[in-house]
Chain A
């Protein structure tokens, strides 16, 4: 088993490297890519257009060949990161150089500005880098996220966002640290010190609540259906699960949104004041209020509809699965005997049967995690819930490659990990399976 785990982990790392190269390569095939909007802008002269395109090309590093760019992304730092001391030093040096040759007063002014303001920046960047050089020093991990290290994504430098929040380190976006401007909405996002503003945390909360709720509902349904096989309730529950599996998430989400969010509020406002209604979007009522992020009540109200939507198909699928595995266990001889012998023994054995039926469920849950992550994109989009899904949705829409890459890698990682967990669970369940 240990050998197996080592092998699987090595395979997983290889798969992640391979996947990232594949995704990186594919992204770079995008026509226009991140400079698409620059290309489409109207320009007065061709020279102006060329200059703008050239500047954008350099800015996004598109002048380098794809292998170099990928390797940079993988193990070198972001060349244009404003926290990168080498980059700052280079800029400073270039400005000093240019100063000697230029005559344009305006240009001179901006160069002078660089020369005077950069030295302290360089010093602080160097200092930050020095204190954060050890990524595995977890005591400083929080303050060091987003500080570039001598290395790319494999040492924890995930690059900076190009478009969604230009210049902000991707990790800051994912972990919800630091103030930035959301380019898509134009909203200046302040700097709440709340842990729970992080999109990653928001999505994880959404997903884990969904798993939990799904289990809590699917569990009794599955067991009851199995024990009362072919009863009217069993048929009804079966029918329900077929409905749940076939229901398109986005449609179900929209219906809930319209009914519980909008229609209920309308009725509420029209006088039915007893009628509760749910918020139609967001993680909190007011994004700029730091206090709301830690207000459990508000958070839960915002979570109800997304969780329900995200859970529907897993409730349906898992209850079917649990019913099937429960039936299988119930069919076994020792359980049948106990059934015949009477109540006391029956309950004892049922507990036993239940445990045996439950273990395969672990495999199913593990395999469902990547699917849930995908479902989160749709759910978050409908309810405008500030999680990884929304972040990704924005990143794809705006060709923000560093952000896209990061989220794709995180979700690939989820897939790899959950596959390994599923295999292990499988081996635990079925003693015939021996991994070596």
Chain B
């Protein structure tokens, strides 16, 4: 072991015993706004998930006064039975607070579900395309180009009519339009990695393509995928609420933050302040997600030493 003893003298870069995850968390925490955002998202998710437990009224039944244009302002107390509507009621007398809570279930879950599906499909397609190249790549990327050259919002409305508005329609459409972006991102990352020597080395050791992709290429592409996915959540929530606001998304009596706003718009002249709530929820959620995404981008930046 003559070699070993001589070489031991060479300095080993000193490194604290710290796992990668805790390094990322430490760097993430530096972004105070992102931490606040995380808190906001957590609270909203919790409140929505537990809506069944704490909401005062049925979100689909006009409790205050059935009939058209039977809205109530925030804090309204019904003189006949003493029911109090903290955030008032919507255009046909349904409790806004309860609708918002249930609407959160839909809006947040659409955002998360689409993001998950898009991340999965986009990653698989992008990895296959970037790794194998050639004909497969050409075909897949032509499909991606095609989808990306469809006008997003106009198509969203048209497809919603075709499939019939509803929860799954929205999820399917948003996923269909979302995956190409992610797959391009993953493809680019895989392309830049696949000719690196460590991939060749793994191949030389006898690794299968699947192993190379899942154990080496994807873990090295994870940072951009995570950041992309985070920002996607916000994008999908806005897209869902826009379409629902226009009346082509989640349809009554189910509530989403977008269609609640549309309902309140009908009575905007009489009860303008009620418009604040649904919009504020969308805004806060998306803002928080954007802060989180930004912080993650920094925390996961491969150029910064881990």
- Seen from chain A, the residues whose Cβ lies within 8 Å of a Cβ on chain B are 11, 15, 18-19, 22-23, 26-27, 29-31, 242-243, 245-252, 254-255, 257-258, 262-263, 370-371, 373-375, 377-378, 381, 392-393, 396-397, 399, 404, 407-408, 411-412, 414-416, 419
Contacts and interface: CB of A to CB of B under 8 A. Distances in A.
B238 A393 contact: no
B248 interface: yes
Contact of A408 (B155, B279, B289, B294): B155
A378 B242 contact: yes
B152 A18 contact: no
Most interface-central of A242, A374, A397 (chain B CB within 10 A): A374
Nearest to A411: B151
A139 to B, nearest CB: 32
A100 B242 CA distance: 58
Given A374-B154, A396-B157, A262 B269 contact: yes
B152 A248 contact: no
B275 A255 contact: yes
A370 B272 contact: no
B213 to A, nearest CB: 28
A248 B241 contact: yes
Contacts of B283: 246-248, 251
A15 B146 contact: yes
Nearest to B287: A246
Given A245-B290, A246-B287, A250-B245, A408 B154 contact: yes
Contact of B248 (A11, A243, A375, A396): A396
Contact of B153 (A22, A248, A374): A374
B282 to A, nearest CB: 5
Contacts of B150: 19, 22-23, 412, 415
B210 interface: no
A120 B261 CA distance: 54
A414 B152 CA distance: 12
Interface in B120-176: 145-146, 148-155, 157-159, 161-162, 164
Interface in B227-283: 234, 238, 241-242, 245-248, 258, 261, 265, 268-269, 272, 275, 278-279, 282-283
Contacts of A243: 287
B119 to A, nearest CB: 21
A404 B151 contact: no
B118 interface: no
Contact of B242 (A250, A255, A263, A371): A250
Contact of A416 (B149, B269, B289): B149
Contact of B149 (A19, A247, A263, A381): A19
B164 to A, nearest CB: 7
Contact of B268 (A19, A27, A254, A378): A254
Given A251-B279, A377-B153, A414-B151, A23 B290 contact: no
7 contacts: A23-B155, A242-B294, A248-B286, A252-B279, A396-B158, A397-B247, A399-B161
B287 A377 contact: no
A375 B152 CA distance: 10
B129 to A, nearest CB: 18
B158 A408 contact: yes
B291 interface: yes
A92 B83 CA distance: 70
Contacts of A247: 283
B149 A15 contact: yes
Given A31-B164, A249-B242, 8 more contacts: A250-B242, A250-B245, A251-B261, A251-B275, A374-B154, A378-B245, A392-B154, A408-B154
B116 to A, nearest CB: 21
A325 B268 CA distance: 42
